[in-house]
Amino acid sequence: EVQLVESGGGLVQPGGSLRLSCAASGFTFSPFWMHWVRQGPGKGLVWVSHINGDGSSIGYSDPVKGRFTISRDNAKNTVYLQMNSLRAEDTAVYYCGRAGSGGAFDIWGQGTMVTVSS
């Protein structure tokens, strides 16, 4: 079965750090661009970051640039999101997604909740 499984979310104080993981299975991971998308409570979807197959192309949305770092380990079929200097406004469900046909996100994980609060 083709799937993505996120982990690593939780409750963290403002200024703290978390590392999210997204484990892929059921498909050949290395060629695919991978993305992180977040969704605040009751809000819409917001793109966060991308990484291409070999890690040579990486990008971030402005609100997270300089604080978040995306990476991948193709041997472990896993993409990561290191989140530092967390703020209350980073509170959201974080989804990883695979860019498939036409660049759309054709496979999504179930999401992992990140809550930034004191």
Partner 1 sequence: EIVLTQSPATLSLSPGERATLSCRASQSVGSFLAWYQQKPGQAPRVLIYDASNRATGIPARFSGSGSGTDFTLTVSSLEPEDFAVYYCQQRFNWPLTFGGGTQVEV
Residues near partner 1 (CB under 8 A): 35, 44-47, 50, 59, 61-62, 95, 100-106, 108-111
Largest CA distance in the chain: 42
> Do the beta carbons of residue 59 and residue 49 sit within 8 Å?
yes
Q: Considering the complex, what minimum distance in angstroms separates the CB of residue 57 from partner 1?
A: 10
Q: Considering the complex, what minimum distance in angstroms separates the CB of residue 39 from partner 1?
A: 9
| Of residues 44 and 89, the one with the C-beta less far from partner 1 | 44
Among residues 37, 23, 20, the alpha carbon closest in space to that of 96 is found at: 37
Q: Considering the complex, what minimum distance in angstroms separates the CB of residue 55 from partner 1?
A: 17
| Of residues 54 and 106, the one with the C-beta less far from partner 1 | 106
- What is the distance between the alpha carbons of residues 85 and 67, in angstroms, rounded to a whole number? 6
Q: Considering the complex, what minimum distance in angstroms separates the CB of residue 75 from partner 1?
A: 26
| Of residues 71 and 110, the one with the C-beta less far from partner 1 | 110
Category of 31 on φ-ψ map: left (φ > 0), alpha (ψ -120 to 50) or beta? alpha
| Of residues 1 and 62, the one with the C-beta less far from partner 1 | 62
Counting Cβ atoms within 10 Å, is residue 100 exposed (0-12), middle (13-18) or buried (19+)?
middle
